[in-house]
Structure 1
């Protein structure tokens, strides 16, 4: 697959993933708003913080290193039999992690009050089984991702999320007294549907004309099982070593990604009710990061990993591919920076209104608005870090990955200490401040790496972090106007005044987008041709 084809596939994958994540987050958004009317915030805290932390930790530590390593490598020359054999190690590794984590969650952590929140013990076991069920599809996921089977991911995860939401809604209405059993069953349905969709797809796909056209390396479903290879090693040990390097890194990255939940869970700095409010605000604040930035990062990591030769000096690589990678990186940085600046500029003035409309006084009173306002700035840092680390992880050599593990270790330790200290001073807001500090340090490290990577070439992709002055002025004026609008129109008045505040924001946003369209022409062209392939095809 040529570089242009890889770029088109990665762009299509990003577009599909964005649409998929938009749907996911909207479903979750309305699901949380619905369940808040039927269950307590304490139950939400146990499910969304304690149990989902167990699930995400088990899944992430079991598969993340394998994904990063197996999506790198030798491209078309890789031995997929060895790759599949390696990927199946995710399941026994998941069983080991599951046994360890269940023991910790049951016997080392303080259990919630059984009178208020019953069935905690069985729920821990069920969430663990759901995570192991999702790991069954890991070899299929990597195969699909490596060969750009973009529709499979969309369909599988869509069906799984819809099924989970339906189960949750029906059981919350019909039997709210079941408590944790409701969310445990819904998570099992999600994992089961996800794995089943991948299996059914490959049963139909393998051996078909489409598979022949794509030169798919497997022909029968039995080839997806781990088997020995005559005259060849069972595993590609170079790939296995790279996986181990990523595994050490993924452990530290998980602490950074879910650090506030680990602090809440293991240090008991917030009660379950406050954890529930923080998690809801966190989900609202990170919605754009999850449904927009993360899919772009995942998709273009595949692009950078395929186009660039890992660990090789930029002067010794194919210059047309280096040029393409640099141009794509610059446009991506400019895109996520623009989105992040818009969220930061408008987030302050609309946090209180958003929480009041979403969860009523339960969320809009207390620390909720302050949390969401701080998160609007954190989203800007998330946007930049996602793309810069996406490139860095695709370009680093194994030795550089190992050295970066030491950096991650220092960041993890400082984050945990900073979280504990700042939470004591500022409450839940301290978690976001600690995240901002650590995210800024990660961005600085990535920017230094990218600068050194391209310093002996004619490319300056970091110029994507310099927005046009007219755009900056438009954002500053819009932020001032919306702050004044909130003070005069929102949020103790009626819906007429609130609609007036919303209208002011809509006009300001339209002005900002117009200025961006007129000043960032290269970015607009990139979005049209790469991130909106269907639109591009219509024009041609």
Structure 2
């Protein structure tokens, strides 16, 4: 069972990574052309609309998605429960739109029309949720890869197509290209998911529509597990318990967008959006697929430990329990341990060259692809700072995936409380960096680093406790690179700075050759 789960998750992660690389490559190429037609103000307004759509989708489905991954109550049970996401999303779309219009709305063309389109697109995307959760339960990662690839391509083509048409016609369409792209994305996602999973549902005897799970006339104990003969009570209870945590997590993950929208000008918002999009490219292409596949894998591997312990009986402060002999770890726990160590080790190795060379290559990279109107903003400096943030983002992603996959309800509640404290640290750091030190958008990135560092410390403490009580030792030091690797990583920036000016007569290409040569020596030593 564990080997098949690992194999399926590895294949799933591979499909998702290939999907991200292919779709992001196309998106990246077309967006570079698109940036030539946009001002920072238009991009800043599109970020606000994107935040609106993300908020609707997140609060409608996130807690239910995590709950469905943690329990295996049958495909039909998760399909039925997924319709609650649609029921939540419909009123939430109107409510959040009303709240957004009460704020200081940017004065850009077609903003209200675009807001309406984003709302409809969010509802359409939620309608693909039954097919999505069915595919996740069946571990049909190819279906997800094909759906998201088609949706991403359609979004890019629609966005660029409207922008190019408006430019040729000499029309000012504001944020309408982004709204068209979002609608194309939602429609393609719905069509591909529904058509692909409808065939699977027909062959495997389940339905993508709600279906009775128990007859209302039955009075046995099993019928009590279902509410209205449709919804699994354990799944529904778990989803509700995760909703508070998901709300706090939303504030933490989207806190930078909320703060930048509150504290920064529209032009600064556009510069920050550009920097975070480029800075998060690695995270979206590589780290996010691994995080999603590993969460599903950890939940399956750790679902039935050999010596199960009642929820909440062991905590970080319960020394009497910690002193008791640990039970021997079963094969699933051992597999989860080795998988987590491998992923964390890989992430730390990837982080080393990123920390050494990323901040110096970022401004050069931006000057080559974004145009002069962007290099004159704070975007190069923000992108350079973002390079320090990416390793924290990666390590937190996979460690938090493990926590969400194996934690009990009591432990998830404790995590929610700690996340509230982490948000306080994040908000306090943002105020110091942005208001006191006047770092602008760079301050938001710095505050995010503080936030992620706090969450990583919590996650690693949980991981150690979990493996200890299941008979497997987990040492954080085993995932760190060697001393020599850390030493050359620390020295590399000094070498880059000391060689500044060499080949300056060749401009940007000279800088690329200089830093590339240092990187080659660094790679050989590493």
TM-score (norm 2): 0.88
Partner of 2:80: 85
* Residues paired across the two proteins, number: 490
- RMSD across aligned C-alpha pairs, in angstroms? 2.1
Q: 1:111 to 1:32 in 2, by over 3 A?
A: same
Q: 2:283, 2:390 within 8 Å by CA — same for their partners in 1? A: yes
In structure 2, the residue matched to 1:109 is: 103
Q: State the match for 1:250 in structure 2.
A: 246
Check the 8 A contact 1:263/1:420 in 2, yes or no.
Answer: no
Match of 2:61 among 60, 63, 79: 63
Q: Equivalences for 1:409-448 in 2 at 5 Å?
A: 409-424=420-435, 425-448=438-461
Give the structure 2 partner of residue 297 of structure 1: 291
Q: Does 1:161 align with 2:175?
A: no
**How far off is 1:350 after superposition?**
0.8
1:344-365 CA-partner distances (Å, limit 9, x unpaired)? 1111221210111121333333
8 Å contact kept, 1:422–1:431: yes
Give distance in 2, aligned partners of 1:4 and 1:483: 48
Equivalent position of 2:510 in the other structure: 497
**How far apart are residue 88 of structure 1 and its match?**
0.6
Aligned to 2:355: 344
Q: How much has 1:458 moved relative to structure 2?
A: 4.0
Distance in 2 separating the partners of 1:496 and 1:191 = 41
Give the 3 Å change call, closer, same or farther, for CA 224–66 of structure 1 in structure 2. Answer: same
Aligned to 2:323: none
| 1:200 aligned residue (179, 195, 210) | 195
Q: Does 1:187 align with 2:198?
A: no
In structure 1, the residue matched to 2:114 is 123
Number of the residue aligned with 2:493: 479
What CA distance in whole angstroms lies between the structure 2 residues aligned with 1:84 and 1:263?
Answer: 36
User: Does residue 282 in structure 1 map to residue 276 in structure 2?
Assistant: yes
Aligned to 1:226: 210
Offset at 1:486? 4.6
Does the aligned pair in 2 maintain the 1:474–1:511 contact within 8 Å? no
| 8 Å Cα contact 1:337/1:383 also seen in 2 | no
| DSSP 3-state at the match of 1:224 | coil
Matched, 1:511 2:507: no
Task: Measure, in 2, the Cα distance between the counterparts of 1:102 and 1:327.
Answer: 46
Aligned to 2:476: 462
Q: 1:170 and 1:79, CA in 2 relative to 1: closer, same or farther beyond 3 A?
A: closer
| Shift, 1:461, TM fit | 5.2
Cross-structure match for 1:368: 379
Provide the secondary structure at the position in 1 that maps to 2:231: coil
1:330 and 1:463 in contact (8 A); partners too: no
Q: Tell me how far apart the structure 2 counterparts of residues 195 and 88 of structure 1 sit (CA, whole Å).
A: 14
Q: Flag the 1:170–1:317 CA change in 2: closer, same or farther, 3 A.
A: farther
Q: Which runs of 5+ in 2 are unaligned?
A: 315-325
Shift in Å, 1:328:
0.7
Query: Match of 2:259?
Result: 263
- Offset of residue 109 of structure 1: 1.1
Contact 1:385/1:439 (<8 A) preserved: yes
- SS of structure 2 residue aligned to 1:71: helix
Q: Call closer, same or farther: CA 1:443–1:487 in 2, change over 3 Å.
A: farther
- Structure 1: how far apart are the matches of 2:282 and 2:457? 22
Q: Which residue of structure 1 lines up, in the alignment, with residue 318 of structure 2? A: none
